[in-house]
Amino acid sequence: MHYRPLGKSGFSISIIGFGCMSLKKNNNDNERVIHHAIASGINYFDTADIYQNGENEVCLGKAVRPFRNKIIIASKVGNMIKQDGTGLAWNPSKPHIIASAETSLKRLQTDYIDLYQLHGGTIEDPIDETIDAFETLKKQGKIRHFGISSIRPNVIREYVKRSNMVSVMMQYSLLDRRPEETILPLLEENNIGVLARGCLASGLLIDKPPRAFLSYSSEEVAKASNAISTLRIAGRDSTQIAIRFSLSQQAIVSAIVGIRSMEQLEEAIKTVYAPALTQYEISYLKNILKPERYQQHR
């Protein structure tokens, strides 16, 4: 396994991170997959308090308990499941963050969360209050570091200016290059690690039938997928190429891949040992489509 430093955190995390949101309801199967991931060198596991209404944290905590000092647990806070089950409500207040951290710690069966992330964020939030909540948890030893999970440039810039966050999780792939315009350079300049999600664009870059994505037509999506296919060689299929494309960005520390089966785990791990993309191949892929730009929250 290969590792990269996560910003100013002092953590070195595997370039493939385990996205837990996709885990099955069968805890025995989940445990086998998680244990194999750890044995393969993956040390970053990402969950959230709303995944499966908290059961995702319970499952992860139980599975990694024997390896707690060897791995990094990341969770998220800010969304609340409405009591009537109709959707989510947003709450970035200090009382909610403090209370949610306590609940997550119990579910995860741990005394601390390595990386606690705001699960979204808007420019209208009480940002200083939110930051104070994370700093309070740090002082109490209940979290080690904090970051945000956001694609909004205006929100990210405020946290860069006002906080000591160590990471930003955001969507980045061949079909979503919006962070390239200003955000990736800003985060790299400030030594804030980027955790890339959506590297496979919901499977559209590897095996799903083409459909419209962002402002790209289904024909343009097919063009991107076909371009990836042309670069397949021995030991490197479309999955590895798509993930490697995301990891080619200097600011990106790890590709967080949603994993629910042993087969998906093995496919993700192969990326680490697959032949890297050459600069020519990266340029070729970047020239396939004109990159998107953020239209809102600039």
Active site residues: 51
Q: How many helices (H) and strands (E) does the chain have?
A: 10, 12
SS3 of residue 297 by DSSP: coil
At residue 21, the 3 state secondary structure works out as helix
**Nearest CA among 285, 75, 95 for reference residue 195:** 75
Q: CA Rg, the chain, in Å?
A: 19
State how far the Cα of 221 lies from the Cα of 165, in Å rounded to an integer.
34
Structure tokens at 42: 């993956």
CA 123 to CA 140: how far, in whole Å? 27
CA-nearest of 126, 46, 112, 114 to 78 is: 126
Q: In this structure, what token pair is assigned to residue 209?
A: 């039938």
- Alpha carbons 71 and 139: distance in angstroms, whole number: 21
